Amino acid sequence: MSVLRRLLNPVDRWLDFTSLREPVITEKRWPGGGVPCLASHALERAASAAFSLDRGARLKRITAPRGTAADGAAQRWALFFELPRKRAKLLCDWYLDGDKVAGRFGRECLDTRATPYPASDSELGHALEHGRVAYGRLRKLWREERRRLPDLPLQFRDSDEALTDLCALGLRVDRPFALRTEASHRGVEWVARADERSFSCRFFA
């Protein structure tokens, strides 16, 4: 059976006209100097890229890997989307490149990478290649994958409001921390992790 699947999977993949087949990478640079921004601004930039690939794109996670200032503005944001129609995942990396010619913080940049599901180097990708899993099963597996994280709304309590709450709980922005959205039994929250401590507050508006 695996031999037959190994022969049929490439044919089924070729007949799948909507799914992404290869990674799609883009880079965008805005002229002039940029400044640290709130999550909502980074999302505006990222959502434009996501919807250009799939009008049904769904936001899944927001992170500020290097933390933010006390006003909630960060020099780097990573936003994660799923592209249901394309059966792909999209990472949008918004950042300031530090080029002093453009200004104090450098240019505003957005790098994106859309990756088909499953990734070719993943266990499932290898299973498809070698015929251990039928290509036809991907539709069900993709639905299950999409349920792992809830879809996030495009309107939410912005990072400035979140930092007000988190600092009131004891978060110190003068020390290294990371900010991200996380889903728990309490729902989706903004979570800041610093050393071995974590602080959380409401995400939904």
- For 54-65, write each residue's pLDDT tens digit: 999 999 999 999
Query: Tokens 């299950």 appear where?
Result: 144
- For 13-45, write each residue's pLDDT tens digit: 544 658 898 999 999 999 888 999 999 999 999
At residue 15, the pLDDT reads 46
Q: Determine the average pLDDT of the residues in 168-176.
A: 96
Predicted TM-score (pTM) of the model is: 0.88
Other C-beta atoms within 10 Å of 49: how many? 20
At residue 101, the pLDDT reads 67
Q: Determine the average pLDDT of the residues in 73-82.
A: 98
Confidence class for position 2, pLDDT limits 50, 70, 90: low
Is the predicted pLDDT of residue 9 greater than 60, yes or no? no
Higher pLDDT, 133 or 204: 204
Is the predicted pLDDT of residue 205 greater than 70, yes or no? yes
- For 85-134, write each residue's pLDDT tens digit: 999 999 999 999 987 666 778 999 999 999 998 888 888 777 767 667 77
